[in-house]
C-alpha cells in the first residue's frame, strides 16, 4: 500500500491505523540548513520522503505554496520568544484560527489532486470536538471530487466553532449535529468505516486525525521551531495541548526522523486519561467532562494507538489485544518495558479549570496579549516541565482566543480581540442537520445528501 492509498482510505480495512513501514531520517546537515529556510521549503523537505513515488517533489511544492497562502502571517507559524527559555509557537493564523488548518489545507490539496488524477470521487466523513470540522469544511468547500460530512456533539462546541462549520453554503459540505458526546461522534465515524457496504457505496475517506497524512503534515512545524532554536546542535522540548494525540504524535515522528527532541509534554485539561496512564501504566476511560478547552474533552485518544504500536516494538497482535481490551473492558495495562519507552520521551501534566484561567491572565500581564484556553493548558504544562539546563521549551499555541469568547470573558473580563473576517462570519446564515446518536440514522442522512450516487 502506497502513501496515496493510505491518504484516501483514512482508516485501515481492519479498523487499525496506518503508519509508514519505516521512519525516514533527515541528515544533521539538512536540519541545520532549515535555520534560514521558509516554512514552505522545510515542509517539502520534511514531507516528501513519505510520498516519494506518489507525488513528484515539484507538485508537492506547488500544493504546499497554495495551502499556506491563506495564512495571515508570512512565517505561517511564527515563534515568539517569551523569555526564560519559553517559546510560543503560533499555529492559529489559518482561516479557522486553529492549528488544524495547517494540516487540513495541505490534506485537501493532496486528496483532490490524487482523486482527480485517478478519475475518482470520495465522500469525506469526520467527527469533530470543535476545530477539525471547520478546518475540514474550509479546506474542502467547493472542491469538485469530494463531498464532506462533519459530525459534531450538539451543544458542546463554541459558537464560533459551530458557525465556522455551518455558514459555508457550498453544496458539497454538510454539518450534522449529533445528540451525544465527541466520543459518540467518533464511534459513529468508526462504525461507518467498519460498515463495508456503506464504505464502498460512498467511497468513504477520513480526514480526522486518524488520517496518517494529517499527522504527517503536522511534523513540519516541529522542525521549523527547533531549527530556529539551534537544532540539531540544540535539543528542544515541546508542550502540546493534547486531545486525540495526533499533534503530539507528529512530534514523536519528528524525533524519529532525527530532530533532537528533549521531551514531549502531554498537556491535558481535567480529561486527563493520558496523564494518568503515564503515571500508572493503566489506560482507563472515564466520563468526558465539559471544559473551557473543548477540543481536548476526550477520553479515547485515537492516535495513542500509533504510539502503542511503536512502544510494543511494532507488535500488531499486542496492539490488537490492547485495543480489544479497551473496547470490552474500558481499560488496558501497558507493561514495564512499554512504559519505560514511553517515559523516555514523554511527560504529562494536567491543568485544571482554575489554573487555565490563571495562566491566561498571567500570560497577558507578562506578554501583553490574550491567549486561548488550550494554549494556556500547554503553557501550564510547560511551566511544570523539568528539563536539563539550557533546553528551551516550545508551547504549541493551538487556537486563537477569538474562538473561545466565554473563556476569554472569564479570564479577562473582556471581549476577545477578534479578527474582522470572524466578525463578518458571525453574521452569516447557518445550515445544519440534527441527527440521533444512531448509526443507521446517520448513514441514511448521508446517503440522502451525498452527490455521489
Contact positions toward ligand PLP, by CB under 6 A?
98, 100, 131, 209, 241-247, 295-296, 374, 398-399
Cβ proximity to ligand PLP: between 167 and 375 the closer is 375
Report residue 230 as a C-alpha cell: 539551534
Cis peptide before 232 (omega within 30 of 0): yes
| Number of C-beta neighbours around residue 61 at 10 A | 16
Report the distance separating Cα 268 and Cα 377, nearest Å: 7
Cα(117)–Cα(95) distance, integer angstroms: 27
Cα radius of gyration rounded to whole Å, the chain: 20
Q: Which is nearer to ligand PLP, 146 or 296 (CB)?
A: 296
Counting every residue written for the chain, the total comes to 453
Least separation in angstroms between residue 89's CB and ligand PLP is 12
Q: How far is the CB of 247 from ligand PLP (least distance, A)?
A: 4
C-alpha cell, 47? 514531507
331-333 and 282-284 beta bridge pairing:
antiparallel
- Burial degree of 420 (CB within 10 A; 0-12, 13-18, 19+): exposed
The cell numbers describing 377, all together, are 493548558
Burial of residue 305 (number of CB atoms within 10 Å: 0-12, 13-18, 19+): buried
* Nearer to ligand PLP among residue 123 and residue 295 (C-beta): 295
Taking the complex as a whole, the smallest distance from the CB of residue 324 to ligand PLP amounts, in Å, to: 23
Closest distance to ligand PLP from the beta carbon of 44 (Å): 23
Contacts of 250 (CB under 8 A, 6+ apart): 215, 216, 218, 219, 222
Q: For residue 265, list its beta bridge partners.
A: 239, 347
Select which of 37, 100, 190, 406 is catalytic.
Answer: 100
Closest to ligand PLP by CB, 337 or 406 = 406
Residue 108 beta carbon to ligand PLP: minimum distance, rounded to whole angstroms:
17
Distances, alpha carbon 183 to alpha carbons 1, 95, 123, 161, 323, in Å: 29, 26, 21, 18, 15
Question: Taking the complex as a whole, how short is the minimal distance between the CB of residue 399 and ligand PLP, in angstroms?
Answer: 3
Nearer to ligand PLP, 115 or 385 (CB): 385
Q: Least distance in Å: CB of 164 to ligand PLP?
A: 11
Query: Burial of 66 by CB count in 10 Å (0-12 exposed, 13-18 middle, 19+ buried)?
Result: middle
CB 269 within 8 A of CB 296: yes
SS3 category, 272: coil
Residue with smaller CB distance to ligand PLP, 31 or 278: 278
Q: Is 100 annotated as catalytic? A: yes
By C-beta, is 112 or 247 nearer to ligand PLP? 247
Cβ–Cβ < 8 Å for 168, 142: no
Residues classed as catalytic: 100
Amino acid at each position: 500500500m502506497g502513501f496515496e492509498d493510505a491518504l484516501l482510505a483514512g482508516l485501515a480495512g481492519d479498523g487499525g491505523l496506518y503508519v509508514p513501514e519505516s521512519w525516514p531520517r533527515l541528515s544533521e546537515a539538512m536540519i541545520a540548513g532549515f535555520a534560514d529556510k521558509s516554512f514552505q521549503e522545510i515542509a517539502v523537505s520534511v514531507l516528501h520522503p513519505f510520498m516519494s513515488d506518489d507525488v513528484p517533489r515539484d507538485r508537492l511544492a506547488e500544493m504546499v505554496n497554495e495551502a499556506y497562502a491563506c495564512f495571515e502571517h508570512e512565517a505561517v507559524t511564527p515563534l515568539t520568544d517569551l523569555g526564560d527559555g519559553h517559546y510560543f509557537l503560533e499555529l492559529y493564523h489559518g482561516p479557522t484560527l486553529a492549528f488544524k488548518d495547517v494540516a487540513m489545507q495541505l490534506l485537501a490539496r493532496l486528496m483532490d489532486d490524487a482523486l482527480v488524477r485517478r478519475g475518482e470521487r470520495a465522500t469525506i466523513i469526520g467527527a469533530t470536538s470543535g476545530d477539525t470540522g471547520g478546518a475540514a469544511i474550509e479546506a474542502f468547500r467547493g472542491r469538485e471530487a469530494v463531498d464532506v460530512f462533519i459530525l459534531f456533539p450538539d451543544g458542546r462546541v463554541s459558537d464560533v466553532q459551530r458557525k465556522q462549520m455551518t455558514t459555508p453554503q457550498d453544496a458539497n459540505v454538510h454539518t450534522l449535529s449529533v445528540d451525544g458526546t465527541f466520543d459518540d461522534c467518533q464511534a459513529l465515524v468508526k462504525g461507518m468505516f467498519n460498515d463495508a457496504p456503506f464504505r464502498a457505496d460512498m467511497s468513504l475517506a477520513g480526514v480526522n486525525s486518524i488520517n496518517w497524512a494529517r499527522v504527517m503534515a503536522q511534523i513540519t512545524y516541529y522542525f521549523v521551531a527547533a531549527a530556529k532554536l539551534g537544532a540539531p546542535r540544540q535539543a528542544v522540548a515541546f508542550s502540546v495541548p493534547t486531545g486525540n494525540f495526533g499533534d503530539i504524535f507528529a512530534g514523536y515522528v519528528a524525533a524519529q526522523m532525527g530532530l533532537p527532541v528533549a521531551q514531549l509534554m502531554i498537556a491535558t485539561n481535567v480529561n486527563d486519561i493520558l496523564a494518568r496512564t503515564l503515571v500508572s501504566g493503566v489506560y482507563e476511560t472515564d466520563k468526558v467532562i465539559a471544559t473551557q478547552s473543548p477540543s481536548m474533552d476526550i477520553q479515547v485518544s485515537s492516535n495513542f494507538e500509533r504510539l502503542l504500536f511503536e512502544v510494543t516494538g511494532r507488535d500488531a497482535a499486542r496492539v490488537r489485544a490492547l485495543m480489544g481490551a479497551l473496547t470490552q473492558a474500558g481499560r488496558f495495562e501497558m507493561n514495564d518495558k512499554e512504559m519505560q519507552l514511553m517515559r523516555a520521551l514523554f511527560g504529562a501534566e494536567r491543568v485544571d479549570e482554575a489554573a487555565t484561567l490563571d495562566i491566561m491572565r498571567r500570560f497577558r500581564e507578562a506578554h501583553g496579549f490574550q491567549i486561548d484556553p488550550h494554549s494556556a493548558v500547554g503553557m501550564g504544562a510547560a511551566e511544570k516541565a523539568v528539563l536539563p539546563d539550557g533546553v528551551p521549551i516550545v508551547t504549541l499555541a493551538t487556537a486563537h482566543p477569538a474562538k473561545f469568547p466565554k473563556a476569554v470573558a472569564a479570564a479577562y473580563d473582556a471581549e476577545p480581540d477578534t479578527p474582522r473576517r470572524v466578525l463578518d462570519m458571525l453574521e452569516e446564515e447557518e445550515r445544519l442537520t440534527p441527527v440521533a446518536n444512531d448509526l443507521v440514522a446517520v448513514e441514511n442522512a448521508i446517503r440522502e445528501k451525498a452527490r455521489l450516487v
